[in-house]
Amino acid sequence: MAYKPEERQENNRERQQGRKRMQDTAHRAFEKNTKRRLTAVGDWQHGEADGTGNRAAMAPVFLGFHGWGSDERDFLPVCRHLASGHDYASLRAPVPMSALFADEGYHVPGYSWFTQMTVSGKELDRQAAIDACLIERWCEENLEDNRKIVPLGFSQGGMMVTQLLRTIPERIAGAIVFSGFHAPGLLDGTHPADGTLEERKLSGAGIPVFFGYGSSDTLIGQEELSATAQWLENHSNVDVRVYPGMEHEVGPRELRDVLQWIEDQRLR
């Protein structure tokens, strides 16, 4: 699909306006609830520069997002392993699991990216977009303006990776989705960069993405995983890997494949 210059300008304006609306919403949520902020562990300040001393010219930061009920320290070894000597950080989701079970009086460890047990439709769009804005704020506060990232996430964290593609594609050097999914895109303003992704894909400059999942994953479901694979096919240069017999997990063979993919894409 070809865009005329005036159509491209209008699309850019719409994306900017959509992102501004979601940033404003995220900032209001951030200010209203001090718990909705992101904590990170890792080492993202000491990457290797190109000899010029220009930090913006460094290799990208590997930025990890854990799954439902987990935390940033649980996903940290995956980030460290894939970054392999380069900068990395693992971010904690903003919602304590105990808040989801408050009515039952349970104390449950871990964190969630969403404020409800089950989220779908426009509410999934809304919450995913707000969290993506909080991640964008973390990047603005902790990384140089031109520093690229390689977001990687498992399950719910994998959904955050697809949402970042739809929000800040200009910052992404490549992306890794482990058994993740994508928001439906029903709510206006929550996926401002979808058009940009399509344009880049058609022009041969699509963002490289690794998407892996197991053929026996029944937690997300094969239909939703297949739909996400198709969405990525239309919006990125995706390498889809389906692992026979693997359930909802990150397997050793998958990690080996991702390491090779990272080398092939020259992401570090």
Q: What is the pLDDT of residues 20-53, one digit of tens each?
A: 555 555 445 444 443 456 888 877 665 444 444 4
Residue 11 has pLDDT above 60, yes or no: no
Confidence category of residue 56, pLDDT binned at 50, 70, 90: very low
Closest CA to 44 of 85, 81, 78: 85
Question: By three-state DSSP, how is residue 49 classified?
Answer: coil
Rounded to whole angstroms, how far apart are CA atoms 266 and 173?
Answer: 10
Among residues 174, 137, 184, the alpha carbon closest in space to that of 22 is found at 137
CA separation, residue 30 to residues 64, 71, 94, 167 (Å): 21, 19, 10, 18
Could you tell me what percentage of the chain is helix, strand and coil, using 3-state DSSP and rounding each to the nearest 5? Answer: 45, 15, 40
Neighbour tally for 258: CB within 10 Å = 21
Token pair 């928001």 is at which residue?
183
Q: Distances from the Cα of 153 to the Cαs of 17, 62, 66, 95, 267, in angstroms?
A: 27, 10, 6, 17, 16
β-pairing verdict for 208-214 and 175-178: parallel
For β-strands 111-112 and 175-178, DSSP reports them as: unpaired
Number of Cβ atoms within 10 Å of the Cβ of 143: 22
Highest-pLDDT range among 7-11, 14-18, 28-32, 232-236: 232-236
Decide if pLDDT at 79 tops 80: yes
Q: How far apart are CA 67 and CA 118, in angstroms?
A: 14
User: How large is the average pLDDT for residues 113-130?
Assistant: 92
Token digits for 166? 């739809």
Domains, the chain, ranges and CATH? 5-43+59-264 (3.40.50.1820)
